[in-house]
Structure 1
Amino acid sequence: MSANPTIEWTEDDGEARSAHWRSETGTPAPRRVVIADDTTTADTAFRLASEGTGLLWRGDFQNARQLLQAMARRVDRPPKKKKAPPATLIDAFNQHRQAQSQRARTLNAVLIPVEADYGIALRRAPDVRAACEQAYGPADGEPSVASLRELQGLVGAYEWRKRGVEIPALGDRIHPHYGVFSPVRGEYLDLVEQAPLPSTSLAFDIGTGTGVLAALLAKRGVERVVATDQDARALACARENIERLGYAKRVKVVEANLFPEGRAPLIVCNPPWLPARPSSALEYAIYDPESQMLKGFLNGLAAHLEPGGEGWLILSDLAEHIGLRTRDELLALFEQAGLTVLDKLSVRPRHPKASDTEDPLHAARTREMTSLWRLAARNNQAAR
């Protein structure tokens, strides 16, 4: 057996069983597991899941999907007694995250046995082997158990990777790998497409993810781009996208914690926008605990800019409207890092949540702006 976590249960005939527990979201294995099948009602499943019990499915796969949908309706049902509205937006943010976390824990309780080759030996089960291999890596020859909800996510990501995401600024598609944040918010790409380039000789793309910004800089005529990331999935994803788009001779993807060696006349970074603690590994593209990446980029920028160079920081101000960070605190970070603001280009978001009145953070989203801050090192201003 490997060092992977193990999940244990007892079959209906009294036989004790165990298998690897798989969770790319970092969800811990349930401490108690019971067998569930086509006779299990949604009310029973919801009650057990709410208590933290896992339900290992032994029935028809499509019935498990229907059960999960029924449980989701129960989770999302408005409470009989209305709660007082949160006093502040940061309270609304914290309550929303708590509710989403509880929702995920409850719905992740429906478990599916996965064979050693990633097959699923249940009636009417789809073939998820290719999707599992992309997310988990080659099969290790051991049976495992995963939540149905996570398996659905794997299949969705697999299909999304095949189709790709249309990027109008590129005039092409980006194909995100599982676990790599997809560039679905196109407004920040429009800003990068429109901002005046200080140079076309060299650029650094810090935290490249899918490689979309590196590709866009190459498309704009930057002769050489060094794109960095420290996540193995992101590095593989960026390299594949850059190769497919035909920019491999001009874009080099390297493993690094923020900056590569040397200096550049243009350094671009799109860090996670919200200074909060991620609740899973997949949330690190959204939440930047204690603004670690933002501060790391700003504090190292001056030392890596060529004289007269610019750093482009792409950042939403949603955190400011929620109350997670103030504008004065952001400007103070610039000041402490020895940076000055040359210009700021801004655009309103176009994503569906911006106009969703049912969103708990609607009041903040209606005021949100996404900005590209053009920054320079104070001691380099004479070279401009």
Structure 2
Amino acid sequence: MMRDVSIHWEEGVQSCSAVWHSENGIAAHKKVVTADDTLTADDAYHLACEGTAILWRGDFQNARQLLQALVRRIDKPSKKSKRASKRVDKSADATPKKTAKDIFNQHRLIQSQRARILGMLLIQCNADHSISLRRAPDLSQACLEAYGPVTQSYVVSLRELLGVVSVHEWRKNGLPILADENGEPVFVHPHYGVFSPVRGEYIELVCNAPLPKALDAESTAFDIGVGTGVLSIILAMRNIKKIVATDQDDRALTCAKENIALLNLGSQIEIVKANLFPAGKAALIVCNPPWVPARPSSTLEHAVYDPDSQMLKGFLAGLKNHLLPQGEAWLILSDLAEHLELRTRQELLSWIEAAGLLVLGRIDTKPKHSKAFDDSDSLHFARAAEITSLWRLKAI
């Protein structure tokens, strides 16, 4: 849904405007110039760095190439910055060593600055989501899925637009999450703005953890924070008869409903809009909350960042009132925050104890994603040591 905020620019002698759209919540740019294929990458980079947005009027494919050129200029330090870095290295012994939290905060700042610069290259879309540029592909379906129907022309960053296209391909082709009893892959289809289950290690934990005996008496489960519906789907395929899945985000609720319908699991899984828990009690309650206790910089980051561990604390605090006798809760959580010094293991254990819960056991796994093996990543020290765990909890 488009926000009622306009972006303004001059085109020749004419004053122009359109609706401004940013999923990251970036305010409409104040300084906007139009540009075409004659604009050099160096000039574009200087404009973006000084806070001037570039509304593209040239060839669409050239705009994509220009964006890549901006990426190269951001990610490749200049000779001057390299010399400065060497001088800093020589005097490193005289400066205090950065903490893990310092490194994380610096990483977030760099990522924010990078996103700001790359977000300065803008594209205008028509009211039918088409793009009136040479060699522009038909992105109308992808934009319709992400933004819904609109009635006016709008301007969006090319970087965001390419993200919309990437998710459209995921939604169209699906993401394999596991194999069914016949060995055939089972797919979920992520929607724009819904966290995609690309990290398979936590899926394997939920597939393989021993089911609590309380399910024998009452085969019910709650899935808190349903997202794409992946955990509910796994529980249904593990023959749990009734699963109630909750979320507060409308995009997630729509996505989960569609995925569940595609797999004909609607008779087992009910989707409910709720803050954490639905009404009633269950023999099994699962939750994969955001893993990093930091403030998200956009609505798209809410699945990753949980300010002050609010969702995690709320989940733990409410479990005792929603578990059936002998019921069990599965908390799927990475210890990345501990390696980044954003949360301690003792804090987590104290929240579990304060909620009247007992740890029955923990199943651990190492990450398999590429960043865990990329030693050029500033957070590699934490990612390489990361463990993802399924905590088995019960009420005391």
Cα distance between partner residues in 1 of 2:26 and 2:222? 35
How far the C-alpha of 1:212 sits from its partner, in A, is 0.3
The 8 Å contact of residues 169 and 216 in structure 1, kept in 2 or not, is answered as no
Look up the match of 1:145. 155
Contact in 1 for aligned 2:227/2:247 (Cα 8 Å)? yes
**Which runs of structure 2 are paired with 1:236-247 in the superposition (5 Å)?**
236-247=254-265
| In the alignment, structure 1 residue 179 sits paired with structure 2 residue 193 | yes
Matched letter for residue 139 of structure 2: V
5 Å matches for 1:31-50?
Answer: 31-50=30-49
Q: CA separation of 1:303/1:169 partners in 2, compared to 1, >3 Å: closer, same or farther?
A: farther
Per the normalisation by structure 2, the TM-score is: 0.93
For 2:252 and 2:52, how far apart are their aligned partners in 1? 34
Q: Secondary structure at the match of 2:321?
A: helix
**Aligned-partner SS, 2:394:** strand
CA distance in 2, matches of 1:323, 1:367: 13
Deviation at 1:76, TM superposition (A): 0.6
Residue in 2 that maps onto 1:381: none
What percent identity do the matched residue pairs reach? 60
Q: Would the aligned equivalents of 1:169 and 1:189 in 2 still touch at CA under 8 Å?
A: no
Matched residue, 1:164: 174
**How many correspondences in the alignment?**
375
Contact 2:3–2:20 under 8 Å retained in 1: no
Select which of 367, 373, 389 maps to 1:349.
367
Structure 1: which 4+ aligned runs deviate by more than 3 Å?
83-86
DSSP-derived class of the 2:187 partner = strand
Is the Cα contact below 8 Å between 2:222 and 2:285 reproduced in 1? yes
Task: Spell out, residue by residue over 1:107-136, the C-alpha distance to the aligned partner (whole angstroms, 9 max, x if none).
Answer: 010001111111100111111100010000
Quote the Cα distance in structure 1 between the aligned partners of 2:29 and 2:312: 35
Establish whether residue 88 from structure 1 lines up as the match of residue 106 from structure 2.
Answer: no
* Kept after mapping to 1: 8 A contact 2:3/2:21: no
The equivalent of 1:339 in structure 2 is 357
Instruction: Tell me, in whole angstroms, the C-alpha distance in 1 between the residues paired with 2:379 and 2:161.
Output: 29
1:304 aligns with 2:318: no
- Say yes or no: does 1:25 pair with 2:24: yes
| TM-score, scaled to structure 1 | 0.95
The amino acid of 2:245's aligned partner reads A
In structure 2, give the amino acid aligned to 1:309.
Answer: G
Aligned to 2:250: 232
Equivalent position to 1:126, from 137, 160, 171: 137
Query: Post-superposition shift, 1:25?
Result: 2.1
Query: Shift of residue 189 of structure 1?
Result: 0.9
2:160 partner letter? E
Structure 2 residues without counterparts, runs of 5 or longer: none
Aligned counterpart, 2:8: 8
- Tell me which moved more, 21-30 or 285-294: 21-30
User: Distance in 2 between the 1:314 and 1:48 partners?
Assistant: 44
Moved more, 85-94 or 202-211: 85-94
Q: Which moved more, 1:210-219 or 1:88-97?
A: 88-97
- Name structure 1 gaps, 5 residues minimum: 379-384
Aligned counterparts of 1:54 and 1:357: Cα–Cα separation in 2:
33
Partner-residue secondary structure (3-state), 1:99: helix
Find the residue that maps to 2:277 and give its secondary structure. coil
1:258-301 per-residue CA deviation (whole Å, 9 max, x = no partner) reads: 00000001000000000000011100000001111101100101
Give the whole-Å Cα distance in 1 for the aligned partners of 2:364 and 2:324: 25
Q: CA deviation at 1:3?
A: 5.7
Q: Give the structure 1 partner of residue 72 of structure 2.
A: 73
The answer to whether the Cα contact below 8 Å between 2:3 and 2:19 also exists between their aligned partners in 1 is no
Matched, 1:212 2:233: no
Gap change, CA 1:359 and 1:141, over 3 Å in 2: same
Task: Provide Cα deviations, 1:344-363, integer angstroms capped at 9, x if missing partner.
Answer: 01111111111111111111
1:252 corresponds in structure 2 to: 270
SS of the equivalent of 1:168 reads strand
Q: State the 1:246 CA deviation.
A: 1.8
- String of CA shifts for 1:295-341, please: whole Å, max 9, x gaps: 11001010000111111100000100110000000001101111110
